[in-house]
Protein backbone atom coordinates (compact mmCIF):
# COMPACT_ATOMS: atom_id res chain seq x y z
CA UNK A 1 0.00 0.00 0.00
CA UNK A 2 1.62 3.27 -1.13
CA UNK A 3 -0.78 5.88 0.24
CA UNK A 4 -0.24 5.47 3.96
CA UNK A 5 0.64 9.14 4.41
CA UNK A 6 -2.66 10.22 2.83
CA UNK A 7 -5.11 11.66 5.38
CA UNK A 8 -8.14 10.19 3.60
CA UNK A 9 -6.55 6.71 3.53
CA UNK A 10 -5.61 6.94 7.24
CA UNK A 11 -9.10 8.10 8.22
CA UNK A 12 -10.67 5.30 6.18
CA UNK A 13 -8.43 2.66 7.85
CA UNK A 14 -9.20 4.10 11.27
CA UNK A 15 -12.95 4.12 10.66
CA UNK A 16 -13.00 0.54 9.34
CA UNK A 17 -10.94 -0.71 12.32
CA UNK A 18 -12.66 1.50 14.90
CA UNK A 19 -9.27 2.98 15.78
CA UNK A 20 -8.79 6.30 17.62
CA UNK A 21 -5.50 8.05 18.42
CA UNK A 22 -4.01 7.56 21.88
CA UNK A 23 -2.36 10.74 23.12
CA UNK A 24 -0.81 8.80 26.01
CA UNK A 25 1.05 6.58 23.52
CA UNK A 26 2.36 9.57 21.56
CA UNK A 27 0.35 8.66 18.46
CA UNK A 28 0.98 11.38 15.88
CA UNK A 29 1.11 9.68 12.48
CA UNK A 30 3.11 11.05 9.55
CA UNK A 31 1.08 12.49 6.68
CA UNK A 32 3.91 14.23 4.78
CA UNK A 33 4.80 11.84 1.91
CA UNK A 34 8.39 13.08 1.58
CA UNK A 35 9.50 12.35 5.14
CA UNK A 36 9.52 8.53 5.35
CA UNK A 37 11.43 7.83 2.09
CA UNK A 38 14.05 10.34 3.23
CA UNK A 39 14.29 8.82 6.70
CA UNK A 40 14.60 5.32 5.28
CA UNK A 41 17.37 6.36 2.86
CA UNK A 42 19.38 8.41 5.36
CA UNK A 43 18.79 5.80 8.06
CA UNK A 44 20.63 3.20 5.99
CA UNK A 45 17.77 0.87 5.01
CA UNK A 46 19.31 -1.10 2.13
CA UNK A 47 20.09 -4.60 0.85
CA UNK A 48 21.91 -6.67 3.47
CA UNK A 49 20.49 -4.56 6.31
CA UNK A 50 17.93 -5.41 8.97
CA UNK A 51 15.94 -2.54 10.48
CA UNK A 52 14.53 -2.33 13.99
CA UNK A 53 11.63 0.12 14.09
CA UNK A 54 9.85 1.29 17.24
CA UNK A 55 6.18 2.22 16.90
CA UNK A 56 4.60 1.37 13.55
CA UNK A 57 1.44 3.48 13.65
CA UNK A 58 -0.35 2.52 10.42
CA UNK A 59 2.98 1.42 8.91
CA UNK A 60 3.90 4.45 6.81
CA UNK A 61 7.62 4.34 7.69
CA UNK A 62 7.62 0.54 8.01
CA UNK A 63 6.61 0.19 4.35
CA UNK A 64 9.42 2.50 3.15
CA UNK A 65 11.94 0.58 5.26
CA UNK A 66 10.66 -2.77 4.00
CA UNK A 67 10.93 -1.63 0.37
CA UNK A 68 14.67 -1.05 0.86
CA UNK A 69 15.98 -3.39 3.59
CA UNK A 70 16.17 -7.19 3.77
CA UNK A 71 14.06 -7.33 6.91
CA UNK A 72 12.13 -4.99 9.22
CA UNK A 73 11.13 -5.88 12.77
CA UNK A 74 8.87 -3.33 14.41
CA UNK A 75 8.06 -3.27 18.13
CA UNK A 76 4.57 -1.81 18.62
CA UNK A 77 2.86 -1.62 22.01
CA UNK A 78 -0.69 -0.85 20.86
CA UNK A 79 -2.48 -4.14 20.11
CA UNK A 80 -5.30 -2.26 18.33
CA UNK A 81 -2.84 -1.57 15.49
CA UNK A 82 -2.08 -5.23 14.78
CA UNK A 83 -5.09 -5.86 12.49
CA UNK A 84 -4.46 -2.48 10.83
CA UNK A 85 -0.84 -3.40 10.11
CA UNK A 86 -1.79 -6.86 8.87
CA UNK A 87 -3.79 -5.05 6.20
CA UNK A 88 -1.49 -2.13 5.36
CA UNK A 89 1.73 -4.17 5.26
CA UNK A 90 0.26 -7.25 3.53
CA UNK A 91 2.53 -6.64 0.50
CA UNK A 92 5.72 -6.83 2.61
CA UNK A 93 6.56 -10.38 3.69
CA UNK A 94 9.88 -9.13 5.11
CA UNK A 95 8.10 -7.22 7.92
CA UNK A 96 7.46 -8.66 11.37
CA UNK A 97 5.48 -6.79 13.99
CA UNK A 98 6.34 -7.65 17.57
CA UNK A 99 3.57 -6.71 19.98
CA UNK A 100 5.51 -5.42 23.00
CA UNK A 101 6.58 -2.40 25.01
CA UNK A 102 10.04 -1.40 23.78
CA UNK A 103 11.03 -0.48 27.35
CA UNK A 104 10.25 -3.98 28.62
CA UNK A 105 11.35 -6.30 25.82
CA UNK A 106 14.84 -7.87 25.74
CA UNK A 107 16.16 -6.04 22.69
CA UNK A 108 19.55 -7.81 22.61
CA UNK A 109 17.77 -11.18 22.42
CA UNK A 110 15.34 -9.83 19.82
CA UNK A 111 18.18 -8.63 17.58
CA UNK A 112 20.03 -11.95 17.91
CA UNK A 113 16.89 -13.91 17.11
CA UNK A 114 15.60 -11.82 14.20
CA UNK A 115 18.65 -10.38 12.43
CA UNK A 116 21.19 -13.19 12.25
CA UNK A 117 23.75 -12.41 9.53
CA UNK A 118 22.45 -8.88 8.87
CA UNK A 119 23.89 -5.51 9.73
CA UNK A 120 21.31 -3.74 11.90
CA UNK A 121 20.12 -0.13 12.03
CA UNK A 122 17.35 1.45 14.11
CA UNK A 123 14.92 3.79 12.36
CA UNK A 124 11.83 5.22 14.06
CA UNK A 125 9.47 8.11 14.55
CA UNK A 126 9.66 7.88 18.34
CA UNK A 127 6.75 8.33 20.74
CA UNK A 128 7.84 11.65 22.27
CA UNK A 129 6.83 10.84 25.85
CA UNK A 130 9.73 8.37 26.16
CA UNK A 131 12.34 9.68 23.71
CA UNK A 132 15.26 9.89 26.15
CA UNK A 133 14.57 6.60 27.98
CA UNK A 134 14.37 4.77 24.63
CA UNK A 135 17.58 6.31 23.30
CA UNK A 136 19.45 5.68 26.53
CA UNK A 137 18.18 2.12 26.69
CA UNK A 138 19.32 1.47 23.09
CA UNK A 139 22.76 2.99 23.74
CA UNK A 140 23.46 1.68 27.24
CA UNK A 141 22.76 -1.89 26.22
CA UNK A 142 25.50 -1.46 23.60
CA UNK A 143 23.37 -3.31 21.09
CA UNK A 144 25.01 -4.45 17.88
CA UNK A 145 23.51 -1.65 15.77
CA UNK A 146 25.34 0.59 13.29
CA UNK A 147 23.16 3.67 13.66
CA UNK A 148 19.99 5.01 15.26
CA UNK A 149 17.93 7.34 13.07
CA UNK A 150 15.00 8.85 14.91
CA UNK A 151 12.47 11.65 14.68
CA UNK A 152 12.20 13.53 17.96
CA UNK A 153 10.83 16.86 19.18
CA UNK A 154 12.98 19.75 17.93
CA UNK A 155 13.97 20.85 21.45
CA UNK A 156 14.94 17.28 22.33
CA UNK A 157 17.05 17.07 19.15
CA UNK A 158 18.86 20.26 20.13
CA UNK A 159 19.66 18.85 23.56
CA UNK A 160 20.64 15.41 22.28
CA UNK A 161 22.96 16.81 19.59
CA UNK A 162 24.37 19.72 21.66
CA UNK A 163 28.17 19.88 21.87
CA UNK A 164 29.94 20.03 25.24
CA UNK A 165 30.71 23.64 26.09
CA UNK A 166 27.42 25.02 24.69
CA UNK A 167 24.38 26.32 26.58
CA UNK A 168 22.04 23.53 25.37
CA UNK A 169 24.24 20.69 26.61
CA UNK A 170 22.82 18.38 29.28
CA UNK A 171 23.34 14.89 30.70
CA UNK A 172 21.63 13.34 27.65
CA UNK A 173 24.04 15.10 25.22
CA UNK A 174 27.08 13.80 27.10
CA UNK A 175 25.62 10.30 27.37
CA UNK A 176 24.80 10.21 23.65
CA UNK A 177 28.32 11.40 22.75
CA UNK A 178 29.89 8.74 24.96
CA UNK A 179 28.32 6.02 22.80
CA UNK A 180 27.79 7.67 19.42
CA UNK A 181 28.33 10.57 17.05
CA UNK A 182 25.07 12.51 16.77
CA UNK A 183 24.04 14.64 13.80
CA UNK A 184 20.96 16.55 12.70
CA UNK A 185 19.57 15.26 9.39
CA UNK A 186 16.50 17.41 8.62
CA UNK A 187 13.59 19.35 10.10
CA UNK A 188 9.93 18.30 9.99
CA UNK A 189 7.12 20.78 10.69
CA UNK A 190 4.23 19.99 13.05
CA UNK A 191 1.82 20.09 10.09
CA UNK A 192 3.39 16.86 8.82
CA UNK A 193 1.44 14.82 11.41
CA UNK A 194 -2.09 13.71 12.15
CA UNK A 195 -3.08 14.92 14.68
CA UNK A 196 -0.65 17.88 14.57
CA UNK A 197 1.45 18.07 17.75
CA UNK A 198 2.20 21.40 19.44
CA UNK A 199 5.89 21.29 18.50
CA UNK A 200 8.03 20.81 15.41
CA UNK A 201 10.27 17.79 14.95
CA UNK A 202 13.77 16.95 13.80
CA UNK A 203 15.25 13.78 12.36
CA UNK A 204 18.63 12.95 13.86
CA UNK A 205 21.08 10.11 13.37
CA UNK A 206 23.39 8.66 16.01
CA UNK A 207 26.29 6.77 14.43
CA UNK A 208 27.13 4.22 17.09
CA UNK A 209 30.81 3.97 18.07
CA UNK A 210 32.66 0.66 18.24
CA UNK A 211 34.11 1.81 21.56
CA UNK A 212 33.02 4.71 23.81
CA UNK A 213 34.48 8.13 22.96
CA UNK A 214 36.01 8.44 26.43
CA UNK A 215 38.25 5.87 28.06
CA UNK A 216 36.38 5.77 31.37
CA UNK A 217 34.40 3.26 33.36
CA UNK A 218 30.77 3.65 32.21
CA UNK A 219 29.27 3.41 35.70
CA UNK A 220 31.57 6.07 37.20
CA UNK A 221 31.24 8.24 34.07
CA UNK A 222 27.44 8.32 34.26
CA UNK A 223 27.51 8.85 38.02
CA UNK A 224 29.51 12.07 37.59
CA UNK A 225 27.55 13.22 34.53
CA UNK A 226 24.19 12.79 36.28
CA UNK A 227 25.48 14.48 39.45
CA UNK A 228 27.16 17.35 37.57
CA UNK A 229 23.93 18.23 35.72
CA UNK A 230 21.63 17.61 38.70
CA UNK A 231 21.61 21.33 39.57
CA UNK A 232 22.32 23.29 36.43
CA UNK A 233 22.67 26.71 38.03
CA UNK A 234 25.26 25.60 40.56
CA UNK A 235 28.98 25.04 40.12
CA UNK A 236 30.19 21.54 39.37
CA UNK A 237 31.66 21.33 42.88
CA UNK A 238 28.26 22.01 44.49
CA UNK A 239 26.34 19.76 42.06
CA UNK A 240 28.78 16.89 42.58
CA UNK A 241 28.60 17.28 46.37
CA UNK A 242 24.79 17.05 46.44
CA UNK A 243 24.44 14.65 43.47
CA UNK A 244 27.01 12.17 44.79
CA UNK A 245 26.14 12.74 48.45
CA UNK A 246 29.73 13.65 49.41
CA UNK A 247 31.18 16.58 51.43
CA UNK A 248 31.90 19.73 49.44
CA UNK A 249 35.63 19.49 50.23
CA UNK A 250 35.70 16.04 48.65
CA UNK A 251 33.86 17.31 45.56
CA UNK A 252 36.37 20.15 45.31
CA UNK A 253 39.23 17.64 45.56
CA UNK A 254 37.63 15.59 42.74
CA UNK A 255 37.51 18.67 40.51
CA UNK A 256 41.06 19.64 41.39
CA UNK A 257 42.25 16.11 40.63
CA UNK A 258 40.51 16.31 37.24
CA UNK A 259 42.02 19.74 36.50
CA UNK A 260 38.65 21.52 36.59
CA UNK A 261 38.56 25.08 37.92
CA UNK A 262 36.45 25.48 41.07
CA UNK A 263 33.88 27.87 39.60
CA UNK A 264 33.14 25.77 36.48
CA UNK A 265 29.59 24.71 35.56
CA UNK A 266 28.70 21.35 34.05
CA UNK A 267 27.92 22.80 30.60
CA UNK A 268 31.49 24.13 30.36
CA UNK A 269 33.14 20.71 30.78
CA UNK A 270 34.56 18.65 27.91
CA UNK A 271 34.05 14.90 27.42
CA UNK A 272 37.65 14.36 28.56
CA UNK A 273 37.03 16.34 31.76
CA UNK A 274 34.00 14.18 32.60
CA UNK A 275 36.26 11.19 31.96
CA UNK A 276 38.91 12.60 34.31
CA UNK A 277 36.25 13.20 36.98
CA UNK A 278 35.09 9.59 36.62
CA UNK A 279 38.66 8.34 37.06
CA UNK A 280 39.09 10.46 40.23
CA UNK A 281 35.76 9.22 41.58
CA UNK A 282 36.84 5.62 41.06
CA UNK A 283 40.02 6.23 43.05
CA UNK A 284 37.88 7.63 45.85
CA UNK A 285 35.51 4.66 45.96
N1 LIG B 1 5.76 5.24 12.74
C2 LIG B 1 4.44 5.83 12.73
C3 LIG B 1 4.45 7.12 11.93
O4 LIG B 1 5.54 7.65 11.69
O5 LIG B 1 3.37 7.58 11.55
C6 LIG B 1 3.92 6.08 14.17
C7 LIG B 1 4.75 7.01 15.01
S8 LIG B 1 3.94 7.53 16.49
C9 LIG B 1 4.81 9.05 16.78
C10 LIG B 1 4.63 6.50 17.78
C11 LIG B 1 4.25 5.03 17.75
O12 LIG B 1 4.91 4.37 18.86
C13 LIG B 1 2.76 4.72 17.92
O14 LIG B 1 2.39 3.75 16.97
C15 LIG B 1 2.65 4.15 19.34
O16 LIG B 1 1.57 3.27 19.52
C17 LIG B 1 4.00 3.48 19.51
N18 LIG B 1 4.46 3.34 20.90
C19 LIG B 1 4.22 4.19 21.94
N20 LIG B 1 4.81 3.74 23.06
C21 LIG B 1 5.45 2.61 22.73
C22 LIG B 1 6.25 1.66 23.48
N23 LIG B 1 6.48 1.84 24.78
N24 LIG B 1 6.74 0.57 22.84
C25 LIG B 1 6.50 0.39 21.51
N26 LIG B 1 5.75 1.25 20.75
C27 LIG B 1 5.25 2.33 21.36
Ligand 1 contact, 29 CB (< 6 A)? yes
Question: What is the structure's pLDDT at 232?
Answer: 80
* Closest listed residue to residue 176, CA positions, set 200, 201, 148: 148
Pocket probe mutation, ligand 1, options 13, 34, 36, 57, max atoms within 8 Å of Cβ: 57
Question: What is the structure's pLDDT at 2?
Answer: 57
Helix (H) or strand (E) holding 162: none
Question: What is the structure's pLDDT at 244?
Answer: 95
How many Å lie between the centroid of ligand 1 and the Cα of residue 54? 6
Q: Helix H segments across the chain? A: 7-17, 35-42, 60-68, 81-88, 107-114, 131-140, 154-161, 171-179, 218-228, 236-244, 248-257, 271-284
Alpha carbon nearest to ligand 1 atom 2, residue? 57
CA 41/CA 214 separation, integer angstroms? 30
Nearest ligand 1 atom, CA 27 = 8
CA 154/CA 204 separation, integer angstroms? 10
List Cβ neighbours of 227 (8 Å cut-off, separation of 6 or more): 239, 240, 242, 243, 244
Alpha carbon nearest to ligand 1 atom 19, residue? 25
Nearest ligand 1 atom, CA 53 = 1
Nearest ligand 1 atom, CA 134 = 23
Pocket probe mutation, ligand 1, options 17, 22, 37, 55, max atoms within 8 Å of Cβ: 55
Alpha carbon nearest to ligand 1 atom 22, residue? 101
pLDDT by 10-residue block (mean), the chain, 285 residues: 85 95 97 97 98 98 98 98 97 98 97 97 96 94 96 97 95 96 98 96 97 93 95 92 95 95 93 96 85
Question: What is the structure's pLDDT at 269?
Answer: 96
**CA 115-120-122 angle, 5° bins:** 115
How many Å lie between the centroid of ligand 1 and the Cα of residue 81? 10
Amino acid sequence: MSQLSNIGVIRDIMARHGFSFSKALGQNFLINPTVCPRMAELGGAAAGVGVLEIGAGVGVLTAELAARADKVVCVEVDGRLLPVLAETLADYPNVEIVHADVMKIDLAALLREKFSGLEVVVCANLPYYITSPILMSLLEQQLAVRSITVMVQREAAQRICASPGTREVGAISIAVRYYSEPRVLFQVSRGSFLPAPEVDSTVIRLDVRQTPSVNADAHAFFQVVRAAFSQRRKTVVNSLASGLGIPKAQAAALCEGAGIFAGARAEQLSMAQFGALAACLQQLQ
